[in-house]
Amino acid sequence: MAYSTGSDTIEQMYADIVQDLVPFYMDKVLLPNPQIILNSISVEGSSGDQVRFPIENSIVNAASVAEGGNIKTAAESNLVPTAANISFQKRGVASDVTQEGVEDGLYDAIVGATLNRLSSGLAQATDIAGLTQANTSFTSDDGVSGANANFTTSFVMSPEALAYAAKREPVVKVWYNPNLDTHEFRGTVRNGFTALRATFGRKITSANLGGNQFGVAASKANVEAIATSVANLRSVNAPVGADGMYVGLIDPGLELAINQQLAGVGGSTIGSLSDLGNNALRNAMVSMIAGATLYRSNNLPTA
């Protein structure tokens, strides 16, 4: 039944939304995750609108030195660090709840829907910012040719390719507007991303679902593209994560192409499948393949 509209209940609604915004946000956001981005920092309460991550310069290999020879001349490997900066960007979302909505709705429904709108808006904006940074920073593409809305750019990267910093964790402010008879919620977050090493990330362009239906002919990447990106990352000594794997951020179109390849869809018969093929048929998703742990996202940029 509809809950009481007394001031005590309204105040409890405010308190619940303020208290639960961060847990809801953390359940929805993808990139601020140590499995995906190892270098993350929160600098709430400190001064300044930027953070700087020091980056070690390349190592010079030791050289063969003759007896009495000058070691410094043969191989000098001084520490001359560079830096990558993150500038903070405020991201905000508004959600208004009319008093009529409060009176006609159920308490859990009103609180849940408002939390969902605020947390989803902030989480999606954060992920899009991080994926846009990856798209700008990573220049090598192991996918197919395509540069329009029918193609999406997925990524395979080291957990040490990007860095994330937060100046303000998700917060919500609320007030009652008597002119509009409306409870006005405003959620904000301040954060940012940067690339630490551009060579530690690879793009994979592939046809998205729009490029695989309605008669649109478009090329798709598959498991080979994932394996190629992993091999290229290994060739530059890109570090893996704690699970020994790189990170794959893929869209549903690439996920479909991988599962089709593993399950043999399109063949005249389906023979004896591997464990990966069996999993693709059972669960419609392979979580680890070709040296990468895969995460699906609908926020990846188009090509």
Residue 61 in any domain: the answer is no
Q: Give domain status of residue 72, yes or no.
A: no
Amino acid at 208: N
Residue 71 covered by a domain? no
Whole-angstrom distance, CA of residue 234 vs CA of residue 227: 11
Task: Note the pLDDT of residue 215.
Answer: 47
* Whether residue 287 has pLDDT greater than 70: yes
For residue 134, being part of any structural domain is answered with: yes
pTM (2 decimals)? 0.84
Number of Cβ within 10 Å of residue 179's Cβ equals 5
232 domain residue, yes or no:
yes
The strand ranges marked E within 182-289 are 182-195, 201-207, 246-250, 288-289
User: Domain limits at 145?
Assistant: 7-56+82-296
Question: For residue 300, is pLDDT > 80?
Answer: yes
Is residue 16 classed as helix, strand or coil in its secondary structure? helix
Q: Quick check: 282 pLDDT over 80?
A: no
- Contact predicate 300/35, CB 8 Å: no
Cα gap 194→150, rounded to integer Å:
27
Rounded to whole angstroms, what are the CA distances from 294 to 7, 36, 46, 169, 284? 47, 10, 35, 26, 13
Predicted local confidence at residue 162, as pLDDT: 96
pLDDT 10s digits, 27-69:
899 998 889 999 999 998 888 888 998 888 788 889 899 998 9
Residue 149 maps to a domain: yes
Is 260 within the bounds of a domain? yes
User: Is the residue at 275 inside a domain?
Assistant: yes
Q: How many domains does the structure of the chain reveal?
A: 1
End-to-end alpha carbon distance in the chain: 49
Angstrom distance (rounded) from CA 112 to CA 246? 35
Question: Could you report the per-residue pLDDT of 62-113, keeping only the tens digit for each?
Answer: 989 999 899 888 888 887 878 889 999 999 999 999 888 888 877 778 888 9
